[in-house]
A and B are shown apart, each in its own frame.
Chain A
Amino acid sequence: QKEVEQDPGPLSVPEGAIVSLNCTYSNSAFQYFMWYRQYSRKGPELLMYTYSSGNKEDGRFTAQVDKSSKYISLFIRDSQPSDSATYLCAQPGGGRRALTFGSGTRLQVQP
């Protein structure tokens, strides 16, 4: 079992929709999670990070962690075509301060 699992998608939504992207994790040693966004033919870029349980909001993006179910989510409000990308969740693991990544969910926002 991979330590971080994601549904690969693709997920296709109309412009303006609320998007929910999800990951499950198995390693409870680190309660620190990150979301990366990767546009086609580009390197991943850090979108936001969150500690432990609860929500963290940044503009149209909200990251949420549910420790009891080992579930992390990224919500995108008022989605835009420019949000079309692959979203990867990550947490520390696999070596000192190295990251373990989920396989990524591809999102397409239709204008």
Chain B
Amino acid sequence: DADVTQTPRNRITKTGKRIMLECSQTKGHDRMYWYRQDPGLGLRLIYYSFDVKDINKGEISDGYSVSRQAQAKFSLSLESAIPNQTALYFCATSGGGSYEQYFGPGTRLTVT
């Protein structure tokens, strides 16, 4: 089984809709991250969490919110989706004081 899972894997939604992307991990890591990936722009950090009570904004947090429901679960919400939020979204984890991050398979989100 995959160590970092994301649901859904693909989602098409309409402008103005609320959508939640979910991430779960079985690696026992304390840190979790949400990134978006756009062609030519690479991976950009949206939010990161060092534990359930420690949540931080990343480079591009506007229009997004997160919830760390448990050490193993970290959700990303788009309160009112807009077309320029169409992208690949990745969840990642790290732990044990290491910089190395381990990524989930991604969610392809399309906002029409």
Question: Interface of A with B (CB < 8 Å)?
Answer: 6, 8, 32, 34, 36, 41-46, 49, 88, 92, 94-104
Interface size on B, residues (CB 8 A): 26
Contact B90 A44 (CB under 8 A): yes
Can you give 29 contacting A-B residue pairs, CB < 8 Å? A32-B99, A34-B99, A34-B100, A41-B106, A42-B105, A42-B106, A44-B43, A44-B103, A45-B103, A46-B101, A46-B102, A49-B99, A49-B100, A88-B42, A94-B45, A94-B58, A94-B59, A95-B45, A95-B48, A95-B56, A97-B94, A97-B99, A98-B33, A98-B58, A100-B45, A101-B43, A101-B44, A102-B42, A103-B40
Question: Interface of B with A (CB < 8 Å)?
Answer: 4, 31, 33, 35, 40-45, 48, 50, 56, 58-59, 90, 92, 94, 99-106
